[in-house]
């Protein structure tokens, strides 16, 4: 690709869904953008902060692809080559399972100046919303964040390793393989090992439940919990929110 000296690319993390969880730096970046390429998981109200920018939806979800990654890369180069400031607005934090490296590499190859604005990651923002401490002194002193599937669409082999640890384990994009993931955990954990499932976390469409390895698959089917959802395995999912557990189960039953 030819090198460019015009325009710029800024990757902005939009947070887990609640528009109030956008950072001030992210807000400022959006407000000065000429073009906003935005994902499916961002809150649409964030686009209202810049009514004059051109907005292009490039979201990807299982079973639905608006733009391929190659097409998104081409759009970045296309707009930046015109001297425009391009914002790539991503859910959560752009450097956590956000394909940021691919976009940064194409921009670098073309000489496009780049920057990154960190966002509140979905795993931490959603856990905080539900009073789930990912770490707790002397009990669960680390946590894993694992993707549910690899680029090839297969179950990530890292989950089998995470299941053997004493850490809190957060699985993103894992609903498709929930029975397989639970089976891996049951090789190393008892059936009453707590599991939380939170769909559309921090948004008005949020639905959630707390169960255990023995019951989580059936509970998810019963209450029709689906993507996009975060899975949290470990004592952290239950102990700090005993008072909250019955509340969320009632909310799910009422839906």
- Give which of 43, 44, 105, 95 is closest to 70, Cα–Cα: 105
Catalytic residue among 55, 60, 136, 245: 60
Decide if 109 is catalytic.
Answer: no
> Which among 18, 20, 25, 39 is annotated as catalytic?
39
Establish whether 60 is a catalytic residue: yes
Is residue 185 within 8 A of residue 193, CB to CB? The reply is yes
Residues with Cβ within 8 Å of 56's Cβ and at least 6 positions away in sequence, in order, are 35, 36, 37, 38, 75
Catalytic site residues?
39, 60
């Amino acid at each position: 690709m030819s090198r460019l000296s015009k325009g710029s690319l800024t990757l902005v993390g939009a947070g887990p869904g609640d528009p109030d969880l956008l950072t001030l730096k992210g807000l400022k970046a959006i407000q000065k953008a000429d073009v906003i390429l935005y994902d499916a998981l961002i809150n649409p109200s964030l686009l209202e902060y810049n009514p004059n920018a051109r907005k292009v939806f490039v979201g990807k979800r299982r079973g639905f692809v608006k733009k391929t990654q190659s097409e998104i890369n081409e759009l970045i180069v296309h707009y930046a080559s015109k001297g425009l400031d391009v914002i790539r607005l991503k859910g959560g934090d752009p450097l956590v399972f956000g394909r940021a490296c691919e976009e940064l590499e194409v921009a670098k190859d073309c000489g496009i100046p780049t920057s990154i604005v960190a966002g509140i990651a979905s795993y931490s923002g959603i856990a905080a919303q539900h009073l789930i401490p990912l770490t707790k002194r002397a009990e669960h002193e680390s946590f894993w964040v694992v993707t549910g599937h690899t680029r090839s669409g297969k179950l990530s082999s890292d989950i089998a390793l995470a299941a053997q640890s004493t850490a809190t384990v957060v699985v993103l994009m894992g609903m498709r393989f929930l029975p397989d993931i639970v089976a891996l955990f049951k090789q190393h954990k008892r059936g009453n090992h707590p599991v939380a499932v939170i769909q559309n976390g921090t948004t008005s469409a949020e639905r959630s439940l707390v169960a255990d390895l023995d019951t989580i698959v059936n509970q998810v089917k019963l209450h029709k919990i689906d993507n996009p959802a975060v899975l949290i395995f470990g004592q952290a999912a239950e102990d700090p929110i005993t008072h909250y557990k019955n509340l969320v189960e009632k909310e799910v039953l009422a839906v």
